[in-house]
């Protein structure tokens, strides 16, 4: 019994002796807090231009520091989580400067970045960071691709968003590269990891970087089977960022978008015997890939990552404007209207029709209205629709008509001089993804040719669809015989 008491006593004494008076020799100081004021909006810079940021820094404890500074950039994908903290830094970043103010050339690849500014108080080693969105644009970051025949040769020019015109961008970026065949069309493909411009001649497709027009490939190398001769080409990317499509001569070829994998364009899409699609792509979240077959006079659809078309089942319901499986008409053009409703102009032996399809709907058939009150519609092949109002513009010779889809009538809204033929007509609009622009759907862009010079006109639109002030707002000249125009959308 006694030994137990000794053991317990020893333990308790040991614990008591472990206690010691705390001398409390600490000084408590308020932490210096920094307030960093920098740009309020996204920083936009063209590649190789200078990024300048002069932040205003105020400290809560004057005389603190000295400080060290770090400016670094990274992409969103380099973050471990959306909340970046000192213990959760970007996995990859590029340090631009260690000066207080940032003044360095933008040498990183074109794209969207986060610019992070970190200040470290060397006395306390406490750090404070702020982030700013930064976009580095290539020289050709956004604007109109103008495809022209200049003295029998393909000339692609670029009208940048800020109005700067760059003639013959392919020739300048690729001395020695010659595009064989007659020029036809140029399309941009902008998606995640996809920044291409595809140029078609009647002999094939040439692919370029959309950022600097450097040549990156051509047919037949890019295809499993040759596609030449190219006739009525089209190119599109679906909104789910899975597939790219090329249309030529009524055939469709597909490949995945680069973020899904790299492959050549497939063989001609499998589908009903003898199909020949109109070169216009439609897409919605019920029917991701939709084309119109001008031989079978019906719509064909495919899901994403498929290389085979399916037909629609025959319609058995009443109250449906038309049967997707048996439309019985020939498509001559179209464009996307509001709420992913595509306005397509069709004809049969007796009349012209405004047909609409809504691929976001399980029952995609919209309207099929006779275009009885649309002057010269029988001569129209160029169409452009607003995505705000149900209005479809069409061009005939030197005239532009506006067809009001709801009123089912058309009126003349603009006339160029008689010798100036309209060669293409596009609504300035975005893709269904990416950056928005307040000017989207308020500007009609028209390419003309007068026999000597091609010109590009901006016609700004009033909400009712008429041309503001009755004339163009901007005009660019010096092009060859313009064949087609298309917008190069900004990188994501």
Site residues, other proteins (CB under 8 A): 3-4, 7, 224, 254-256, 260-264, 266-270, 273, 302-303, 305-308, 310
CB of 37 or CB of 216, closer to other proteins: 216
Q: How far is the CB of 8 from other proteins (least distance, A)?
A: 12
The three-state (H, E, C) secondary structure of 292-337, written as one string: EECCCCEEEEECCCCCECEECCCCCCCCCCCCCCCCCCEEEEEEEC
Q: What 3-state class would DSSP assign to 114?
A: strand
CB of 188 or CB of 266, closer to other proteins: 266
Q: Give the closest residue to 362 by CA, choosing from 318, 306, 301.
A: 301
Q: How far is the CB of 237 from other proteins (least distance, A)?
A: 15
Cis amide leading into 254 (omega within 30): no
Q: How far is the CB of 309 from other proteins (least distance, A)?
A: 9
The C-alpha atoms of residue 213 and residue 236 are separated, in whole angstroms, by: 18
Q: How far is CA 458 from CA 182, 185, 445, 452, 480, in A?
A: 27, 20, 5, 20, 18
Q: How far is the CB of 267 from other proteins (least distance, A)?
A: 5
The C-alpha atoms of residue 237 and residue 258 are separated, in whole angstroms, by: 11
CB of 54 or CB of 308, closer to other proteins: 308
Q: How far is the CB of 271 from other proteins (least distance, A)?
A: 9
CB of 11 or CB of 351, closer to other proteins: 11
DSSP characters for 137-200?
A: EPTT-SEEEEEEEETTEEEEEEEETTS-EE--HHHHHSTT----S-EEEEEEEEETTEEEEEEE
CB of 97 or CB of 310, closer to other proteins: 310
Q: How far is the CB of 251 from other proteins (least distance, A)?
A: 11
Q: Give the closest residue to 228 by CA, choosing from 261, 178, 265.
A: 265
CB of 97 or CB of 251, closer to other proteins: 251
């Amino acid at each position: 019994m006694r030994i137990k008491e000794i053991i317990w006593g020893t333990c308790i004494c040991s614990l008591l002796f472990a206690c010691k008076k705390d001398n409390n020799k600490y000084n408590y100081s308020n932490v210096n807090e920094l307030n960093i004021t920098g740009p309020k909006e996204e920083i936009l810079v063209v590649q190789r231009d200078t990024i300048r940021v002069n932040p205003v820094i105020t400290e809560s404890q004057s005389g603190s520091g000295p400080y060290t500074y770090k400016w670094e950039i990274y992409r969103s994908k380099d973050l471990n989580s959306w909340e970046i903290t000192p213990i959760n830094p970007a996995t990859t970043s590029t340090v631009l400067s260690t000066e207080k103010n940032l003044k360095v050339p933008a040498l990183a690849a074109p794209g969207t970045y986060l610019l992070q500014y970190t200040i470290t108080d060397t006395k306390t080693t406490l750090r404070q960071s702020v982030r700013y969105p930064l976009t580095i644009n290539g020289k050709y970051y956004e604007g109109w691709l103008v495809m022209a025949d200049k003295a029998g040769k393909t000339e692609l020019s670029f009208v940048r968003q800020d109005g700067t015109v760059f003639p013959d961008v392919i020739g300048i970026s690729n001395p020695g590269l010659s595009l064989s065949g007659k020029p036809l069309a140029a399309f941009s493909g902008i998606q995640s990891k996809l920044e291409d411009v595809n140029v078609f001649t009647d002999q094939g497709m040439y692919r370029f970087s959309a950022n600097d027009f450097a040549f990156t490939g051509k047919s037949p190398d890019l295809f499993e089977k040759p596609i030449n001769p190219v006739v009525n080409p089209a190119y599109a990317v679906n909104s789910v960022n899975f597939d790219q499509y090329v249309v030529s001569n009524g055939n469709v070829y597909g490949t995945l978008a680069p973020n899904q994998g790299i492959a050549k364009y497939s063989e001609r899409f499998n589908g009903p015997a003898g199909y020949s699609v109109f070169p216009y792509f439609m897409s919605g979240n019920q029917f991701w890939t939709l084309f119109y077959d001008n031989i079978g006079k019906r719509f064909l659809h495919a899901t994403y990552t498929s290389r085979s078309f399916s037909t629609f089942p025959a319609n058995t319901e009443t109250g449906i404007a038309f049967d997707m499986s048996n439309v019985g008409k020939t498509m001559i053009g179209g464009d996307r209207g509001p709420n992913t409703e595509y306005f397509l102009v069709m004809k049969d032996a007796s009349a012209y029709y405004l047909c609409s399809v809504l691929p976001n709907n399980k029952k995609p058939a919209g309207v099929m209205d006779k275009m009885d009150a649309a002057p010269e519609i029988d001569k129209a092949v160029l169409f452009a629709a607003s995505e705000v109002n149900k209005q479809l513009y069409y061009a005939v010779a030197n005239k532009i008509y506006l067809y009001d889809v709801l009123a089912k009538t058309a009126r003349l809204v603009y006339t160029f001089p008689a010798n100036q033929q309209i060669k293409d007509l596009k609504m300035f609009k975005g893709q269904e993804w990416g950056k928005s622009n307040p000017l989207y759907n308020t500007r009609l862009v028209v390419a003309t040719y007068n026999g000597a010079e091609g010109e590009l006109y901006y016609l700004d639109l009033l909400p009712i669809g008429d041309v503001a002030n009755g004339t163009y707002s901007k005009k660019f000249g010096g092009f060859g015989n313009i064949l087609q125009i298309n917008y190069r959308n900004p990188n994501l």
